[in-house]
Structure 1
Amino acid sequence: MQDIAPRVIEILATQALLDPSEIGPEATIESLGLDSLGLVEAIFAIEEAFDIQVPFNPNEPGQGGFDTTSVASIVAAVQGLVAGKAA
């Protein structure tokens, strides 16, 4: 589970055209410069990387229980989905 955070940060960095070292847990999607398309592409990459289904609706980002307010919240949500898949 500890390799989830670096992989999620790497995916977000790729989408935001940033170096992973520039992304901290408190960073927001907006501060990374990701628009809605970039966020959707990052979520697709996260789904593929971890073989999970992310409950995210780009038309209603606040719904679905997948918190995209910060890098830390995305990492926590992915950790929960991965743990749920393993159970």
Structure 2
Amino acid sequence: MTADIRDRILAIIAEQAMLEPDQIDFSASPQDQGIDSLGLVEAIFALEETFDITIPFNANEPEKSEFDISTMGTILAAVEKLVAEKG
């Protein structure tokens, strides 16, 4: 995974949290970082559009999604994996 892709993912997530990318705490939940459910959905749409990927996330039933949103780190890792698989 290139640093550029990681930086772009972090920038999108940080924008929703109204933080700088270096302020993202990878062990924190999105809610702890200031991202509400709408912000999370907006971030997911932005990530899908930016990287031309499909994120398996159901906003209506997030607990049943295949996409782990428990921490900022798991979100980053999952998006990096999807981008790499698209290759």
- Structure 1 runs, 4 residues or longer, greater than 6 Å off: none
TM-score if structure 2 supplies the norm length? 0.87
* Separation of aligned partners in 1, 2:73 and 2:5: 11
Deviations 1:41-84 (A, max 9, x none): 00001101111011110011122311111111011111221122
* Separation of aligned partners in 1, 2:32 and 2:5: 21
Say what the alpha-carbon RMSD is for the aligned residues: 1.3
Deviations 1:4-28 (A, max 9, x none): 3322221111111111121122121
* Separation of aligned partners in 2, 1:32 and 1:63: 22
Structure 2 residue aligned with 1:62? 63
Contact 2:17 2:35 in 1 (8 A): yes
Equivalent residue pairs, number? 86
* Separation of aligned partners in 1, 2:66 and 2:37: 17
TM-score if structure 1 supplies the norm length? 0.87
In structure 2, the gaps of 5 or more residues are: none
One-letter amino acid of the structure 1 residue matched with residue 84 of structure 2:
A
In structure 1, the gaps of 5 or more residues are: none
Deviation, structure 1 residue 32: 1.0
